[in-house]
C-alpha cells in the first residue's frame, strides 16, 4: 500500500471566480383573491466573488454574493417591490472516492426586503453529490436546507449526459439545459431555470392597506421559473459571456406562515446577460 | 430550492494510451522505496501490498498553470524491469475498446492506417471538423491553409482526402520532432493567442520540480520541452477519443537504464489535433524481489495540459481530476493483467 500522499508536493494555483449577472423581465402578473398585481418591470442583478483555495480535504469555497430583485409595482400592496440578499459563501468541494464527489455550501447572510436589517439573517445551505458513472454520464443529487422555508428540506438532482460529440443533456436542477457546442468557444443552449429564496420583508412593510402591518417582518418565498435559450462565448482561457432570452411562465410570492399566497397570473419575457471569469 | 447542484461540466479524457515503453542486480527494497519517496508524492510504500492490490493513482499538485493536471501512481509488476519494459513497448492500447484508442501505430512516417479508421460519432466529428475547417482543430496558420484541400466528409470512417490531409500534417510534425524536438513544433494558432506544445511540455515539467530533477538525466537527452536531444526516440501516432471527439496525436518515447538496474522512461505527447495541448508520462522501474520473485516497482507520473481544464474550478476540477485518475487506473490495471498473464 502507499502511504497518504506527501503534503510537500507542488501547491496548486489559488482559484478565483467572479460572476456578474443582470436580467430584465417585462410583463406578467400575480393574483390573489381576484386582485391582480402587474409586474410590468422586473430588474434582477447579482454579483458573486469566490476564492477557491485547495486544502488537503478538498477545495474550499469562500466568498460573498449580492442579489437584488426590483419590481416596478404600486405601493401599499402585499407584494414587495424589492427583495435582496447579501450573503457570505462558505463551502467545500471534495470527494469520497474517484466516482463520488460532494459539495457542502452554506450561505449565511441577510435575506431582506427594501432594507437590510439584523433580523433578516439566515443560513440556508445545501449538500449535494455527483456520481461519475463515466466521463459522459453523471448523476447529480442533493438537498437544500432552509429553516425559514415552508419545506425546510427540498431535494434536487438530475443527470448530465454527453450523448454526442457536441451535445450535452444537462438535466440538473436548478438549471436543466440541452447544450450544443458549436465549437470550443461557442455554445448554444435551451432550457429552464428555477429561482427561489426565502426573504424577510421589512419591519415597516405596509402590505395590505386594509390590514396594515399584518405582514411586517414576514417571511416570503419568491419563486420564479424561466424558460429560454441562450448563447455562451468563451473569452480566452478565463472568461465566459452569456446572453439568454425567453419567457417567465411562473412567479409567486408566498407568505407561507400567514397563508398569503400571490400566484402567477400571466408570464413575461426576459433577457439576461452573464459574465463569468475564472482565474 | 436555491440549491446549486453539482455538475462536472467538462471532462478531459486522458492519454490513457501512452504507449508504455522502455536488468541488473535488484535494489534492496528499502533503496527503491527511499528513492521513490525522494521525488514522488508517496512517502512510504509497502511493496508486498502493492504487488497484490490495485493501483490507486492520486492527484498531484501542479504549480504554474490552471490548465495542467497531474496524477501519480505506483505499482508492482512481476518480472525484472527490462522484461517489464519490453512488455510496455509491445503493449497496444488499441486492443482494449474501453480505452477508446482506435488506432495505434509505431511509426512516424506511415499513416496509411488512417484510411481504416472506424465509423463512429467521434471519428465523424473529426472528419466533419476537418471538412468544415473548424477553428477547433489545433493547427498552425500554414497547416490551416492546407485545410482547404482536405475534402468533404463522407459517410463513415475517414475519407481519402481527409486521411491524406492528416497524414501530411502528422508526417510533417513527426519529422520536425525527430530533427528538432518539441521546440521545432509549429504553434497551435487556432486559439486566441498561439500555443506552443513545447512551452506546454516544459511548463508541465517546471510545475513538478522534484520529478523534473529525478528525470533530468534522461530528459536532458530528449526532445521533450526543448530542441532535439542526443537520444533517439521511439515515435508513434494514435487516433483516439478525447471527450467523445476523435483526436489525432503524435508521441515519442525515450528510456535509459540507471544505477542498480532501474530504468527511466519518458513519453511525450507533443501534438494533438484537439482535446489537450500536450502531455508527459514519466515512469521509473526498480528491480525488487517480492516473495522471492523478481519484480519491478513502477512509479508513473502523468501530466497533461488542456485548455478545457483551464477554466475549471471547484468540483468541476475535482471531476476532471477524478476522470483522469480513473483512466490511468484502467490503463495500469489492463497492463498489469497482461504483464502478469504473459509471464
The whole-number pLDDT of residue A229 equals 97
Q: How is chain A split into domains, by residue range?
A: 15-278
**C-beta of residue A82 within 8 angstroms of C-beta of residue A68:** yes
| Contacts with A144 from chain B: Cβ below 8 Å | 1-3
The reported pTM is 0.86
CB nearest to B322's CB, from A95, A154, A162:
A95
Asked if A160 has any chain B CB less than 8 Å from its own CB, the reply is: yes
Whether B1 has a pLDDT exceeding 70, the answer reads: no
| Contacts with A125 from chain B: Cβ below 8 Å | none
| Residue B3 confidence class, pLDDT cut points 50, 70, 90 | very low
- How confident is the model over A215-230, as pLDDT tens digits? 888 899 999 999 999 9
CB nearest to B42's CB, from A3, A143, A279:
A3
- C-alpha cell recorded at residue A196: 427561489
| Residue A39 confidence class, pLDDT cut points 50, 70, 90 | confident
| Contacts with A135 from chain B: Cβ below 8 Å | 11, 13, 243, 323, 327
- Name the A residues in 3-42 with CB < 8 Å from any B CB: 3, 5-6, 9-13, 15, 17
What angle, rounded to 10 degrees, do the helices at B81-90 and B314-341 form?
110
Task: For B189, list phi and psi in degrees, rounded to 5.
Answer: -115, 25
| Residue A235 confidence class, pLDDT cut points 50, 70, 90 | confident
Closest residue of A to B72, CA-based? A5
**C-beta of residue A222 within 8 angstroms of C-beta of residue A196:** yes
DSSP B189: -
Average pLDDT, chain B: 85
CB contact under 8 Å between A197 and B2, yes or no, is: yes
CB nearest to B208's CB, from A10, A156, A170:
A10
Alpha helices, H only, chain A = none
The whole-number pLDDT of residue A215 equals 83
CA–CA min distance B80, chain A (Å): 20
Whether B223 has a pLDDT exceeding 50, the answer reads: yes
The whole-number pLDDT of residue A173 equals 87
Helix, coil or strand: residue B17: coil
Whether B197 has a pLDDT exceeding 70, the answer reads: yes
For B103, the enclosing helix (H) or strand (E) is strand B101-105
| Residue B8 confidence class, pLDDT cut points 50, 70, 90 | very low
CB contact under 8 Å between B3 and A95, yes or no, is: no
DSSP B187: P
Average pLDDT, chain A: 90
- Residue A166: which of A142, A183, A152 has the closest Cα? A183
Helix, coil or strand: residue A184: coil
Find the mean pLDDT for residues A26-38. 88
Q: How far apart are CA B233 and CA B249, in angstroms?
A: 16
- For residue B338, what are the contacts with CB-CB under 8 A and spacing of at least 6? B87, B91
CA–CA min distance A27, chain B (Å): 24
The whole-number pLDDT of residue B167 equals 93
Find the mean pLDDT for residues B146-166. 76
CA–CA min distance A190, chain B (Å): 16
CA-to-CA dists, residue A32 to A28, A77, A208, B291, angstroms: 14, 11, 12, 80
Whether B119 has a pLDDT exceeding 60, the answer reads: yes
- Residue B100: which of B240, B3, B239, B198 has the closest Cα? B240
CB contact under 8 Å between A236 and B50, yes or no, is: no
- C-alpha cell recorded at residue B190: 487556432
> Per-residue b/e over A18-31, b at no fewer than 16 CB within 10 Å?
bbebebbbebbbbe
CB nearest to B5's CB, from A58, A142, A197:
A142
Q: How is chain B split into domains, by residue range?
A: 29-117+196-341
Q: Is A276 left (phi over 0), alpha (psi -120 to 50) or beta?
A: beta
Q: How far apart are CA B10 and CA B229, in angstroms?
A: 36
| Contacts with A143 from chain B: Cβ below 8 Å | 1, 3
| Contacts with A5 from chain B: Cβ below 8 Å | 41-42, 58-60, 72
The whole-number pLDDT of residue B26 equals 46
Whether B155 has a pLDDT exceeding 50, the answer reads: yes
Q: How far apart are CA A253 and CA B195, in angstroms?
A: 52
Asked if A192 has any chain B CB less than 8 Å from its own CB, the reply is: no
The whole-number pLDDT of residue A247 equals 97
Whether A178 has a pLDDT exceeding 60, the answer reads: yes
DSSP A2: B
CA-to-CA dists, residue B165 to A184, B62, B137, B142, B236, angstroms: 22, 36, 13, 13, 18
The whole-number pLDDT of residue B261 equals 86
CB contact under 8 Å between A184 and B63, yes or no, is: no
CB contact under 8 Å between A197 and B45, yes or no, is: no
Q: How many CA atoms lie within 13 A of A128 on its CB side?
A: 32
The whole-number pLDDT of residue A99 equals 92
**C-beta of residue A91 within 8 angstroms of C-beta of residue A106:** yes
Find the mean pLDDT for residues A44-50. 97
The whole-number pLDDT of residue B332 equals 93
The whole-number pLDDT of residue B159 equals 72
DSSP A36-95: EEE--EEEEEEEEEEEE-EETTEEEEEEEEEEEEEE---SSSSS-SEEEEEEEEEEEEEE
Whether A258 has a pLDDT exceeding 80, the answer reads: yes
- Name the A residues in 90-109 with CB < 8 Å from any B CB: 93-95, 98-99, 101-103, 105, 107
Cell 482547404 maps to which residue?
B148
Asked if B209 has any chain A CB less than 8 Å from its own CB, the reply is: yes
CA–CA min distance A19, chain B (Å): 13
DSSP A3: P
Whether A71 has a pLDDT exceeding 60, the answer reads: yes
- How confident is the model over A114-173, as pLDDT tens digits? 889 888 999 999 999 999 998 899 999 999 999 999 899 999 999 999 999 999 999 998
- C-alpha cell recorded at residue B256: 535509459
Percentage of the residues of chain B whose pLDDT score is greater than 90: 52
Find the mean pLDDT for residues B79-100. 91
- How confident is the model over B235-245, as pLDDT tens digits? 999 999 998 99
The whole-number pLDDT of residue B192 equals 74
Find the mean pLDDT for residues B62-90. 88
Q: How many CA atoms lie within 13 A of B43 on its CB side?
A: 7
Complex ipTM value: 0.87
Percentage of the residues of chain B whose pLDDT score is greater than 70: 88
Whether B5 has a pLDDT exceeding 60, the answer reads: no
Cell 428540506 maps to which residue?
A153
- Name the B residues in 226-285 with CB < 8 Å from any A CB: 243-245, 274
CB contact under 8 Å between B5 and A170, yes or no, is: no
- How confident is the model over A242-256, as pLDDT tens digits? 999 999 999 999 998
Minimum mean pLDDT range among B28-42, B70-84, B114-128, B314-328:
B28-42
Whether A206 has a pLDDT exceeding 80, the answer reads: no
| Residue B59 confidence class, pLDDT cut points 50, 70, 90 | confident
The whole-number pLDDT of residue B227 equals 87
Q: How far apart are CA B340 and CA B338, in angstroms?
A: 5
CB contact under 8 Å between B311 and A278, yes or no, is: yes
CA–CA min distance B341, chain A (Å): 22
- Name the A residues in 36-75 with CB < 8 Å from any B CB: 50, 52, 54, 58-59, 61
Helix, coil or strand: residue B92: coil
Find the mean pLDDT for residues B156-169. 84
**Bigger pLDDT: B290 vs B197:** B197
Whether B216 has a pLDDT exceeding 60, the answer reads: yes
Q: Is A34 left (phi over 0), alpha (psi -120 to 50) or beta?
A: left
**Bigger pLDDT: B4 vs B246:** B246
Q: Which fold has domain A15-278?
A: Porin (2.40.160)
- Name the B residues in 122-151 with CB < 8 Å from any A CB: 122, 124-125, 134-136
DSSP B275-339: S-SEEEEEEEEEEEEETTEEEEEEEEEEEEE-HHHHT--HHHHHHHHHHHHHHHHHHHHHHHHHH
- Best to test chain B binding among A155, A237, A240 (most B CBs inside 10 Å): A237
Whether A30 has a pLDDT exceeding 80, the answer reads: yes
CB contact under 8 Å between A1 and B314, yes or no, is: no
Q: Which fold has domain B29-117+196-341?
A: Alpha-D-Glucose-1,6-Bisphosphate; Chain A, domain 4 (3.30.530)
| Residue B19 confidence class, pLDDT cut points 50, 70, 90 | very low
Residues in chain B: 343
The whole-number pLDDT of residue B12 equals 39
Task: For B125, list phi and psi in degrees, rounded to 5.
Answer: -60, -45
Amino acid at each position: 500500500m502507499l502511504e497518504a500522499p506527501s503534503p510537500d508536493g507542488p501547491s496548486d494555483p489559488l482559484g478565483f471566480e467572479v460572476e456578474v449577472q443582470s436580467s430584465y423581465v417585462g410583463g406578467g402578473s400575480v393574483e390573489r383573491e381576484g386582485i391582480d398585481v402587474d409586474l410590468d418591470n422586473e430588474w434582477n442583478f447579482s454579483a458573486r466573488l469566490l476564492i477557491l483555495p485547495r486544502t488537503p480535504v478538498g477545495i474550499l469555497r469562500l466568498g460573498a454574493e449580492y442579489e437584488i430583485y426590483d419590481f416596478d409595482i404600486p405601493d401599499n400592496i402585499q407584494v414587495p417591490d424589492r427583495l435582496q440578499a447579501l450573503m457570505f459563501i462558505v463551502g467545500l468541494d471534495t470527494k469520497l472516492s474517484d466516482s463520488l464527489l460532494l459539495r457542502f455550501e452554506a450561505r449565511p447572510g441577510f435575506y431582506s426586503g427594501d432594507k437590510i436589517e439584523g433580523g433578516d439573517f439566515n443560513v440556508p445551505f445545501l449538500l449535494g453529490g455527483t456520481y461519475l458513472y463515466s466521463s459522459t454520464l453523471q448523476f447529480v443529487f442533493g438537498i437544500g436546507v432552509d429553516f425559514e422555508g415552508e419545506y425546510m428540506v427540498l431535494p434536487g438532482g438530475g443527470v448530465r449526459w454527453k450523448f454526442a460529440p457536441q451535445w450535452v443533456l444537462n438535466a440538473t436542477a436548478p438549471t436543466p439545459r440541452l447544450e450544443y457546442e458549436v465549437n470550443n468557444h461557442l455554445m448554444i443552449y435551451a432550457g429552464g431555470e428555477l429561482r427561489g429564496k426565502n426573504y424577510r420583508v421589512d419591519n415597516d412593510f405596509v402590505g395590505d392597506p386594509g390590514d396594515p402591518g399584518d405582514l411586517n417582518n414576514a417571511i416570503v418565498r419568491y419563486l420564479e421559473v424561466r424558460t429560454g435559450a441562450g448563447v455562451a462565448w468563451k473569452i480566452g482561457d478565463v472568461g465566459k459571456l452569456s446572453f439568454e432570452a425567453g419567457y417567465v411562465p411562473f412567479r409567486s410570492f408566498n407568505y407561507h406562515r400567514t397563508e398569503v399566497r400571490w400566484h402567477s397570473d400571466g408570464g413575461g419575457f426576459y433577457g439576461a446577460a452573464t459574465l463569468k471569469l475564472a482565474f | 430550492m436555491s440549491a446549486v447542484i453539482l455538475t462536472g461540466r467538462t471532462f478531459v479524457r486522458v492519454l490513457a494510451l501512452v504507449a508504455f515503453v522502455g536488468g541488473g542486480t535488484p535494489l534492496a527494497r528499502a533503496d527503491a522505496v527511499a528513492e521513490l519517496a525522494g521525488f514522488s508524492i508517496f512517502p512510504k510504500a509497502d511493496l508486498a501490498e502493492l504487488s497484490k492490490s490495485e493501483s490507486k493513482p492520486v492527484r498531484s499538485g501542479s504549480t504554474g498553470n490552471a490548465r495542467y493536471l497531474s496524477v501519480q501512481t505506483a505499482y508492482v509488476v512481476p518480472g525484472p524491469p527490462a522484461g517489464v519494459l519490453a512488455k510496455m513497448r509491445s503493449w497496444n492500447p488499441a486492443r482494449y475498446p474501453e480505452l477508446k484508442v482506435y488506432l495505434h501505430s509505431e511509426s512516424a512516417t506511415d499513416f496509411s492506417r488512417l484510411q481504416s479508421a472506424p465509423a463512429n460519432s467521434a471519428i465523424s466529428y473529426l472528419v466533419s471538423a476537418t471538412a468544415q475547417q473548424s477553428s477547433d482543430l489545433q493547427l498552425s496558420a500554414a497547416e490551416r491553409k492546407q485545410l482547404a484541400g482536405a475534402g468533404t466528409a463522407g459517410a463513415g470512417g475517414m475519407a481519402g482526402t481527409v486521411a491524406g490531409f492528416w497524414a501530411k500534417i502528422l508526417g510533417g510534425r513527426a519529422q520536425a520532432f525527430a530533427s528538432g524536438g518539441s521546440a521545432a513544433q509549429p504553434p497551435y494558432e487556432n486559439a486566441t493567442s498561439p500555443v506552443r506544445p513545447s512551452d506546454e511540455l516544459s511548463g508541465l515539467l517546471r510545475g513538478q520540480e522534484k520529478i523534473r530533477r529525478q528525470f533530468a538525466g534522461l530528459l536532458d537527452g530528449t526532445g521533450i520541452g526543448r530542441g532535439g536531444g542526443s537520444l533517439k526516440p521511439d515515435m508513434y501516432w494514435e487516433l483516439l477519443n478525447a471527450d467523445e471527439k476523435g483526436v489525432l496525436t503524435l508521441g515519442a518515447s525515450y528510456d535509459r537504464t540507471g544505477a542498480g538496474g532501474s530504468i527511466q522512461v519518458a513519453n511525450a505527447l507533443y501534438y494533438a489535433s484537439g482535446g489537450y495541448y500536450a502531455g508527459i508520462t514519466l515512469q521509473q522501474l526498480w528491480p525488487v524481489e517480492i516473495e522471492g520473485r523478481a519484480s519491478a516497482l513502477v512509479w508513473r507520473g502523468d501530466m497533461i495540459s488542456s485548455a478545457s481544464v483551464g477554466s475549471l474550478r471547484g468540483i468541476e476540477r475535482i471531476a476532471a481530476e477524478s476522470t483522469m485518475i480513473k483512466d490511468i487506473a484502467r490503463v495500469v490495471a489492463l497492463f498489469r493483467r497482461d504483464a502478469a498473464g504473459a509471464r
